[in-house]
Amino acid sequence: MTLAFDLLLALSLLWTAWRTLATPRLDRALVLFIVFGLLMSLAWARLAAPDIGLAEAAIGAGLTGALLLDAYGVLRRRVRP
């Protein structure tokens, strides 16, 4: 059953990564990237590394997501004044 769990988690990671690169709308791609980071922290939990899971959830998903969203908002406002 652990194998099924790992395979399902790995498949959803790959699906999220693919959709992140392939979605036509940029804002949705950013949301999917944050979701990818949160799924990565689940994967770190499965790999028995809770410290990396914490860092990934806080820095990888939270901080990077906030930076990307901020840049997206600024660029968007500049395009349409």
Partner 1 sequence: MTTLVLAVALFLLANLAVALIAAARGPTAADGMLVALLIGTTGTGILVLLAPVMHLPALVDVALVLALLAAIGGIAFAKRAWQRTEGEHD
Partner 2 sequence: MSTGFVFALAGAVLFSLGVAGVVLIGHLLRRILAFNLMGSGAFLVLVGLAQRQDVADPVPQAMVLTGIVVAVAATALALALVRKLHALTGQLGLPGDVDE
> Which positions touch partner 1 (CB under 8 A)?
1-2, 4-5, 8-9, 11-12, 15-16, 19, 23, 25, 27-28, 30-32, 34-35, 38-39, 41-42, 45-46, 48, 50-51, 53-54, 57-58, 61-62, 65-66, 69-70, 72-73, 76-77, 80
Residue pointed to by tokens 């990237």:
33
Q: Let me know: does 40 contact 60? Beta carbons within 8 Å.
A: yes
The two tokens of residue 13 are 């990671």
Estimate to the nearest angstrom the gap between the alpha carbon of 33 and the chain centroid. 3
CA separation for the pair 42, 56 (Å, rounded): 10
Q: Does 60 bind partner 2 (CB under 8 A)?
A: yes
Place of tokens 């997501």: 65
Give contact residues for partner 2 (rule: CB under 8 A): 2-3, 6-7, 10, 13-14, 17-18, 20-21, 26, 29-30, 33, 36, 40, 43-44, 46-49, 51-52, 55-56, 59-60, 63-64, 67-68, 71-72, 74-75, 78
